[in-house]
A and B are shown apart, each in its own frame.
Chain A
């Protein structure tokens, strides 16, 4: 399975993400610059965290108009996997690939720490976890408060689109403790926590590996 790791000016988790999917998980992957206009030959798209375009205007808003974005939208509409982490989640929301909005943390503080999460293992991005498993992943964001209207929230819940929720303390005020959601077709996931920062014991944990393992299992028939 061949992954594209999309790079924008200001992306800063791009190398970690490439390392996680290629060196740790053993999949093929390479960087794709935001100005590219083709995703030919790729089976999965990974959008890394960071501060694309300095978070100007709104986080992810300018990146959502990059040349590669129409390709990513087409890619997603074909049912292929798209994962956006942190700023990548913000970009997917701004691009309209995921519902709702991400606004400033209700604490007004940038939060950077290991965060316990509860997993809903009924999504294609979390199926390798146990049911309601509690895991630990790093979070690092200032604008991760997920909001949406009541109808959207109910739909997310009913369709099992809420993949990860904050456990114990809610670090940013997200409604329904939402840390990560999929689109209605289940092939696009956005999440604020960083699975790519938890793929080796040296990094302090390996819970992130199962996110990538779930993608490889559910979207790649020849991989395992």
Chain B
């Protein structure tokens, strides 16, 4: 079995209103050096296959389902 992590983030060009709201809260808390916060999604996926197959399959679902290529990018990592 292979464990895989996927991170999905809004593209740089997309304004992230949630991240902006959280950033505003950090300013109110007094952490004035926090200059940007962007919120994304994190997936832990278990695949009953070897590393190469697992990576290919997770890349495919990341492209087709986990992210929306119109507004998001994804990053796949194999977990040790």
Which residues of chain A have a CB within 8 Å of any CB of chain B?
57-58, 61, 65, 93-94, 99-101, 103-108, 145, 147-149, 173
Interface residues on B, range: 10 to 19
Question: Complex formed: what's the CA distance from A103 to B71 in Å?
Answer: 9
The verdict on B70 contacting chain A, using a C-beta distance below 8 Å, is: yes
Question: Complex formed: what's the CA distance from A204 to B60 in Å?
Answer: 47
Question: Complex formed: what's the CA distance from A132 to B16 in Å?
Answer: 32
Say which residue of A105, A106, A147 sits within 8 Å of B71 (CB atoms).
Answer: A147
Question: Complex formed: what's the CA distance from A145 to B14 in Å?
Answer: 11
Say which residue of B13, B15, B17, B68 sits within 8 Å of A58 (CB atoms).
Answer: B68
Question: Complex formed: what's the CA distance from A206 to B65 in Å?
Answer: 38
The verdict on B49 contacting chain A, using a C-beta distance below 8 Å, is: no
Contacts of B71 in A (CB 8 A): 101, 103, 147
The verdict on B54 contacting chain A, using a C-beta distance below 8 Å, is: no
Interface of A is mostly: loop
Q: Are B68 and A106 in contact (CB-based, < 8 A)?
A: no
Question: Complex formed: what's the CA distance from A162 to B34 in Å?
Answer: 39
Q: Are B17 and A105 in contact (CB-based, < 8 A)?
A: yes
Question: Complex formed: what's the CA distance from A104 to B71 in Å?
Answer: 12
Contacts of A107 in B (CB 8 A): 17
Contacts of A94 in B (CB 8 A): 68
Say which residue of B13, B17, B66 sits within 8 Å of A106 (CB atoms).
Answer: B17
Shortest Cβ distance from A58 into B: residue: B68
In chain B, positions 46-80 with a C-beta closer than 8 Å to chain A are 65-66, 68, 70-71
Q: Contacts A57-B65, A61-B65, A65-B65: A106 and B15 contacting too (C-beta < 8 A)? A: yes
The verdict on B21 contacting chain A, using a C-beta distance below 8 Å, is: yes
Q: Are A147 and B14 in contact (CB-based, < 8 A)?
A: yes
Q: Are B17 and A100 in contact (CB-based, < 8 A)?
A: no
Question: Complex formed: what's the CA distance from A57 to B64 in Å?
Answer: 12
Q: Are A57 and B66 in contact (CB-based, < 8 A)?
A: yes
List 17 additional contacts besides A101-B71, A103-B17, A173-B17; criterion CB under 8 Å.
A58-B68, A61-B65, A61-B68, A65-B65, A93-B70, A99-B70, A100-B70, A101-B68, A103-B10, A103-B71, A106-B15, A106-B17, A107-B17, A108-B17, A108-B18, A145-B17, A147-B14
